[in-house]
Amino acid sequence: MKFQKASVLKGEVTIPGDKSISHRAVMFGSLAEGTTEVTNFLQGADCLSTIDAFRKMGVEIENTPEKILIHGRGLHGLKAPSSVLDMGNSGTTTRLISGILAGQTFESTLTGDASIQKRPMRRIMEPLSMMGAKIVSVNGNDCAPLCITGAPLHGIHYHSKVASAQVKSAVLLAGLYADGETSVTEPALSRNHTEIMLRCFGADVSAEDKTAKICPEPHLQGQKIHVPGDISSAAYFIAAGLIVPGAEILIKNVGINPTRDGILKVAKEMGGNITLLNENNDGEPTADLLVKHSHLHGITIEGSLIPALIDELPVINVMAACAEGTTIIRDAAELKVKESNRIDVMVRYLSAMGCDITGTDDGMVIVGGRPLHGTEVDSHSDHRIAMSFAIASLIAEGDTKIKGSDVVNISYPDFYKDFSRLTQ
Ligand code: S3P
């Protein structure tokens, strides 16, 4: 797909449902008793992989454009799948479902696409094995395919080396099946959607500082869930609004959970003009964001802020390329094990566009302010890379071509529709 510099960026955009919350709604609804109704569910390929996996384990799920209905089978009602469970491109499905499968009475095998088969699974295999799970990497490389044989589990107190909501959630979900209390302490707080939503379903979950705890509970109860817009999808238009001269856009229905709102903090610190409107604090907090073109300046992004903006770092790189001065991103080695190696890929193509960017072991250093020009970018089958370079194209002279641009289907199927509407 080909993109060009924007002469205008204005209008309103309503952001589709949050990917992390959509996955969890299907998973917890499947394990609950009764029906769970989910509105504003993200119909992206990753969340559809989650639906598919639970259907294969006997859960009836009705998927209509207005809502999805999950007819839960209870904590012990899943059936052994008759074939391998295909996780597609979804790391969240793979890691969270492993925690659930560890506590079943059957054996299952999980696999996924080429990217999933390269992503590290030792981080969940280790704590789940400590709980008594039998979980084997079929090719012996600590990646999927994984073969999981359900086993009696016991509670553990796990100190995770990485701040990862996927690891934390896998352990907490296995904790639903354990014989006592399970807790996870992380080096920095990662997104807490599992803790919030499991509690709504009736689980005995508590959280304090960087530790989340769960006690086994025999029943979860089906719920009504309205999924807020995904701040990780909003991030592309936040960045666009800040960097395109004269831009003014209203981004509606954005989830602003404090474990996810790092991009708002960073934008503010860089001098970005963003106003929060219509704030709503029921359950997962939301707001509309009014974003105006701003003169950004470079900052340092590090430490406990990183998990709150980990998926937004590629597009934050684009903001930094337009900012005056130097932006330093550190403590973000996790970028190397996402859908692609996002340090390498961002450095390669932003350099090709004329940006002064250097990769480091755990992030990047960007000296902003150089004019960008179009180039040919390969998305590396990574949705966040494709969307970040679509945004970079808005301020680049000449054509930017993105190979593999349709990968946005993973998290934001209507991205190009919204993008062209705002730039018309
Ligand atoms: C996710 C957690 C994050 C994030 C991913 C979704 C989740 O991964 O990058 O896109 O839904 O739990 P980690 O917490 O493992 O870094």
Could you give phi then psi for residue 112, rounded to 5 degrees?
A: -165, -165
Q: What is the pLDDT of residue 217?
A: 82
Selected catalytic residue, list 261, 311, 382, 418 = 311
- Residue 267 in 3-state DSSP? helix
DSSP code of 186? -
Tell how far the Cα of 313 is from the centroid of ligand 1, in angstroms: 13
Residues 59-80: pLDDT tens digits? 999 999 999 999 999 999 999 9
User: How close is the Cα of 5 to the center of ligand 1, in Å?
Assistant: 32
As a whole number of angstroms, the distance between CA 268 and CA 261 comes to: 11
Rounded Cα distance, 231 and 233, in Å: 5
Residue owning the nearest CA to atom 9 of ligand 1? 311
| Residues β-bridged to residue 135 | 148
The DSSP element (H or E) to which 288 belongs, if any, is strand 286-292
Ligand 1, atom 5: nearest CA belongs to which residue?
A: 92
Residue 12, pLDDT > 90, answer: yes
Exposed e or buried b for every residue in 2-21, given b needs 16+ CB within 10 A? ebebbeebeeebebbbbbbb
**For position 7, what pLDDT does the model report?**
87
Residue 311 designated active-site? yes
Please name the residue whose Cα sits nearest to atom 13 of ligand 1: 164
Distances (CA, A) of 316 to 74, 207, 296, 401: 41, 29, 11, 20
CA 248 to chain centre: 26
Distance CA 258, CA 262 (A): 8
pLDDT value, residue 85: 98
Gap between the Cα atoms of 412 and 232, Å rounded: 10
Both tokens assigned to 32: 């609950």
Report the atom number in ligand 1 closest to the C-alpha of 190. Answer: 14
In this model, does residue 298 exceed pLDDT 90? yes
Q: Which residues contact 275 (CB under 8 A, 6 or more apart)?
A: 289, 290
Any idea what DSSP says for residue 305?
A: G
Q: How far is the CA of 397 from the centre of ligand 1 (A)?
A: 34
The percentage of the chain sitting over the pLDDT mark of 90, rounded to a whole number, equals 98
**pLDDT for the residue 218:** 83
DSSP 178: B
pLDDT tens track for 136-177: 999 999 999 999 999 999 999 999 999 999 999 999 999 999
Coil, helix or strand at residue 60: strand
Stated pTM of the model: 0.98
Tokens of 110: 């999980």
Pairing of strands 211-215, 182-185: antiparallel
Query: Of the candidates 299, 385, 404, 392, which has an alpha carbon nearest to the alpha carbon of residue 343?
Result: 385
What is the pLDDT of the chain when averaged over all its residues?
97
**Domains delineated in the chain:** 2-16+228-422 (3.65.10.10), 19-226 (3.65.10.10)
Measured in Å, residue 20 CA sits from the centre of ligand 1 at 7
